[in-house]
Amino acid sequence: MLHTALYGEDDQAVILTYAWDRLLIDPVPGPRGPENFTGLQPLTPAVWAVPAKARPIAPAGSTLPRLATELPHTFALIDPHHGVEGITRQLEELLSHFSPESIDLLDVGGDILARGDEPTLKSPLADAVTLAACCQVNAPIRLLVAGPGLDGELPPDELRDLLGPLIHTFTAKDVEPISSVLEWHPSEATGMLAATARGVRGTCEMRDAGLPVPLTDEGPTVHEVDLDEALSRNRLARAIMTTATLDEVEAHSREICGYSEIDYERNKATWLKEQPPVKLDPQAVLAQLDQFEAEARNRGVTHTTFRRITEALNLNGSLREDLRQLLISSRPEQYAAPLWNITAASTHRTSRTP
């Protein structure tokens, strides 16, 4: 969306990104590296492209091959297993190979601006590693924050004074070309960004913890932020500049932030393995959904994500798409693509009450 808005739909980008789809898609904790795929294409000695034909090696999962199928850009794999030194090397090789006209570091939500001790911060590792690497590359890199606060990590009030010039405000027109991707892609932050661009407003509950995220006029905005200022705030990014392994990065995260998000995934993955399999019983699911929606409305929530519903109903992540299809076919009036509108449920059912 951002690339098309800033550079036009005819231009193609190289998108260097993580294969880190969390446990809803990938039951293996942490990010995937090149050794977790078949069918990758070498771009440089340290950088591999993920084409449409690529496949994650079971039990790993990844959305990148399908993104490569549906979008015209080249997706390349960030590999954090060699620490910040490894990603810096990847960036330098890409710069040498492509001589790009521009380089944008995009963070949805703004947690890349975290200090590291914020109580709401949950996933600082990927942002800190990428920020640290970008600050060591001898090339102009522009840091952009889209959808301030939409990742549920830092409140918008804390971010507002840290944001620089407004670069773009997404509209429904920007969202339309990727609307088919939003139908299946699990990214909650991107989903809320697209929903706010389409005019959705309210409070959205996300993740397994049910974090409430405000959907406001700030949601679809994109701001530039000074890269060096971001680094000066981000204690974890500064501490890991010379790391050569992901284990080192995790150790610094535990020391500075008090945890490693990959530890959380490890613990959750172990817990999920111990849970008995649950089948999708439509009647039971819709009854559970009614109860969840009623409780969420009492919390002041207007919308939620399908990941949140899946986990709130204690369903396996592999059932997410089946659940989504069931809900949309049963109650289409509640689908505020790609979110689920729970206030529509209240109105809909009240109208049927004698």
**Mean pLDDT for each 10-residue chunk of the chain (354 residues)?**
92 94 91 98 98 97 97 97 98 97 97 94 96 97 98 92 97 96 94 97 93 96 98 98 98 97 95 84 95 96 95 87 94 95 72 41
This prediction has a pTM of: 0.94
pLDDT, position 276: 84
What pLDDT shows up at residue 11? 81
What share of residues in the chain are helix, strand, coil (percent, to 5)?
Answer: 45, 15, 35
State how far the Cα of 240 lies from the Cα of 134, in Å rounded to an integer.
12
Which of 132, 133, 116 lies closest to 124, judged by CA? 116
> pLDDT value at position 347?
59
Q: At CA 124, angle to CA 118 and CA 125, rounded to 5?
A: 145
Write down the pLDDT at residue 51. Answer: 98
**Cα–Cα distance for residue pair 169/147, rounded to 1 Å:** 9
Q: What's the pLDDT at 24?
A: 82
Instruction: Provide the token pair at 182.
Output: 């939003």
CA of 303: how far to CAs of 16, 142, 246, 335, 343, in Å?
Answer: 31, 32, 36, 10, 7
Residue 212's CB is within 10 A of a number of other CB atoms, namely 15
Look up tokens 């139908």; give the residue. 183
Question: What is the per-residue pLDDT for 348?
Answer: 53
